[in-house]
Amino acid sequence: GENVEQHPSTLSVQEGDSAVIKCTYSDSASNYFPWYKQELGKRPQLIIDIRSNVGEKKDQRIAVTLNKTAKHFSLHITETQPEDSAVYFCAASITGNEKLTFGTGTRLTIIP
Amino acid sequence: AAGVIQSPRHLIKEKRETATLKCYPIPRHDTVYWYQQGPGQDPQFLISFYEKMQSDKGSIPDRFSAQQFSDYHSELNMSSLELGDSALYFCASSLLESERSWELFFGEGSRLTVL
């Protein structure tokens, strides 16, 4: 089955700086890669996603890049703000079997 | 817009008791997924249903069972509860016959505490 690894497990950045979280996956058939933001005790909220026919996608301060050859994808948050503090999960799935396999999460702390 | 509804939101049980969690997917969604998230852990896939049939099975203990009913709501039944079953249980739904069939919509979760 799919295995998703995520690094780092914790990340602290100064407000206004950029944050980068990286994930690797094992199943080359995976073709959908969402990123979720989860606040304590709340449900995962989809913040951005990318499909394997696209190398990069951007939505305001958030961007995701995908290297299908290397089987890794990254989340980039620019101009970080205190409200960006949360746990972020990457995930992977295969079209036709939409079960998500999650990474182990990154606790992002934005230092004011 | 209607979202995925889970009930109860909080549940406290004793060891060896039984618990049932319910999930009402977004109207017209045909697929339901159950995830278990332990404290400080990533969500782990338990089981999924497509059109009322089990479509995939993950790390669901034999003590657990689930089904999807004719109205597409799903129930997760957990018996002989153990302390380690204490977790946040998420239900998610999707519509496979849509342009974004891969997108899962999560409910708020049901927090089970086993004492």
Model pLDDT, residue A25:
97
Model pLDDT, residue A96:
65
Q: Do B56 and A100 touch (CB under 8 A)?
A: no
Placement of tokens 């479509």 in the chain: B55
Q: Pick the residue from chain A with its C-alpha nearest to B108.
A: A43
Per-residue pLDDT, averaged over B3-28, amounts to: 97
The CA distance from A76 to A60, in Å, is 11
User: How high is the mean pLDDT of chain B?
Assistant: 94
Of all residues in chain B, the percent with pLDDT exceeding 70 is: 99
In contact, B106 and B91? CB cutoff 8 Å? yes
CA angle A15, A21, A25 (to 5 degrees): 170
**Listed residue (B58, B55, B102, B50) closest to A95, CA to CA:** B102
Q: Do A43 and B108 touch (CB under 8 A)?
A: yes
Q: What percent helix, strand, coil does chain B show, rounded to 5?
A: 5, 50, 50
Whole-angstrom CA distances from A54 to A50, A64, B101 are 7, 10, 17
**Residues near A1 by beta carbon (within 8 Å), at least 6 away in sequence:** A27, A101
Model pLDDT, residue B27:
93
In Å, the largest CA–CA distance within chain B is: 44
Residue A92 has pLDDT above 70, yes or no: yes
Q: Which of B42, B106, B108 lies at the smallest CB-CB distance from A103? A: B42
Task: Give residue-wise pLDDT tens across range A38-60.
Answer: 998 889 999 999 988 889 999 99
Give B91→chain A minimum CA distance, Å.
Answer: 10
Q: Pick the residue from chain A with its C-alpha nearest to B88.
A: A41
Q: Do A51 and B58 touch (CB under 8 A)?
A: no
The CA distance from B16 to B35, in Å, is 21
Task: Give residue-wise pLDDT tens across range A94-112.
Answer: 876 778 999 999 999 999 9
Provide, as residue numbers in chain A, all residues whose Cβ is less than 8 Å from the Cβ of B98. Answer: none
Strand, helix or coil for residue B63: coil
Q: Quick one: pLDDT band at residue A88, thresholds 50, 70, 90?
A: very high
Give B85→chain A minimum CA distance, Å.
Answer: 16
Residue B32 has pLDDT above 90, yes or no: yes
Per-residue pLDDT, averaged over A61-70, amounts to: 95
Q: Does A43 touch chain B (CB under 8 A)?
A: yes
Model pLDDT, residue B54:
92
Give A103→chain B minimum CA distance, Å.
Answer: 7
Provide, as residue numbers in chain A, all residues whose Cβ is less than 8 Å from the Cβ of B44. Answer: 102
Locate A70 and state its tokens: 């290397």
Task: Give residue-wise pLDDT tens across range B82-106.
Answer: 999 999 999 999 987 777 777 899 9
Of all residues in chain A, the percent with pLDDT exceeding 70 is: 98
**Listed residue (A70, A57, A56) closest to A26, CA to CA:** A70
| CA contacts within 13 A on the Cβ side of A67 | 9
**Listed residue (B76, B110, B77) closest to B6, CA to CA:** B110
The CA distance from B4 to B91, in Å, is 8
Q: Pick the residue from chain B with its C-alpha nearest to A34.
A: B103
Q: Does A34 touch chain B (CB under 8 A)?
A: yes
Give B50→chain A minimum CA distance, Å.
Answer: 10
Mean pLDDT check: name the lowest of A71-75, A84-88, B62-66, B100-104: B100-104
